[in-house]
Chains A and B, each alone.
Chain A
Amino acid sequence: MSVVTEYALSALLLIGGFFTLVGAIGLVRLPDFYTRLHAPTKATTLGVGAIMLASVGYFSSTGAGPGASEILITVFLLLTAPVSANIIAKAAMHLDEKPVAGTKGNPWEQ
């Protein structure tokens, strides 16, 4: 494996880990349910995507050949993340989850 690939793969791995961690920190730190919803849908999806890319790159460079499963997992997560965010938000509105004080506008009645 060349030095450049090694650096690139390491960077991708660290970026992936960083965004996954940011998503989790957001889940703990943000003030109400609706703001917490943002962290996992965006940061975690990108984090796992970067880790998958690193995996594809790693297995291509070691000669094992890139696996198709990583790409399938990434595409699947990208497709399902908005759907699960939407359906959890609907459930939260049904449970009458209160938005944090200072939120402009109101959630709908379910």
Chain B
Amino acid sequence: MITAALYITIGMVTLAVALNTYRLFRGPDAADRVLALDTLYINAIALIILFGIALGTHLYMEAGLLIAVMGFVGTVAMSKYLKRGSVIE
């Protein structure tokens, strides 16, 4: 039961990743691409957590935490670059 739900959820999140990737390549603008990347990293965290549940291990949580921190910094840096033309003024 829970295994089936787990695999269906992994399928849904994978589909979501594919749709995000479509928006990432399609654009049409730099801001859309940043938004797509932002959503992508959050979905990547979800996938890692689901993978951790499937394997029954806690080890992947640390990776999820790191992606959460680094992804946020990346989004802020990219938006700042788009807005100002440089990351650190």
A/B contact in complex, CB under 8 angstroms: yes
A: residues with CB less than 8 A from B are 1, 6-7, 9-11, 13-14, 16-18, 20-21, 23-25, 27-28, 33, 36-37, 39-40, 44-45, 47-48, 51-52, 54-55, 58-59, 62, 64, 67, 69-70, 72-73, 76-77, 80, 83-84, 87-88, 90-92, 94-95, 97, 110
| Chain A residues in 8 Å Cβ range of B79 | 84, 87-88, 90-91
B: residues with CB less than 8 A from A are 1-2, 4-6, 8-13, 15-20, 22-23, 29-32, 34-36, 38-39, 42-43, 45-46, 49-50, 52-53, 56, 58, 61-62, 64-65, 68-69, 72, 75-76, 79-80, 82-83
Query: Total A-B residue pairs with C-beta atoms closer than 8 Å?
Result: 162
Of B6, B11, B46, B69, most A-chain CB atoms within 10 Å: B46
Bound Cα distance from A73 to B56, whole angstroms? 18
Nearest to A81 among chain B residues (CB) is B42
| Chain B residues in 8 Å Cβ range of A77 | 42, 45, 68
Bound Cα distance from A44 to B37, whole angstroms? 13
Determine the main DSSP class of A at the interface with B.
helix
Of A16, A67, A92, most B-chain CB atoms within 10 Å: A92
Query: Is there an interface contact between B20 and A27, defined as CB atoms closer than 8 Å?
Result: yes
With A18-B12, A21-B12, A21-B15 known as contacts, the answer to whether A92 contacts B23 (CB < 8 A) is: no
Nearest to B56 among chain A residues (CB) is A62
Nearest to A54 among chain B residues (CB) is B53
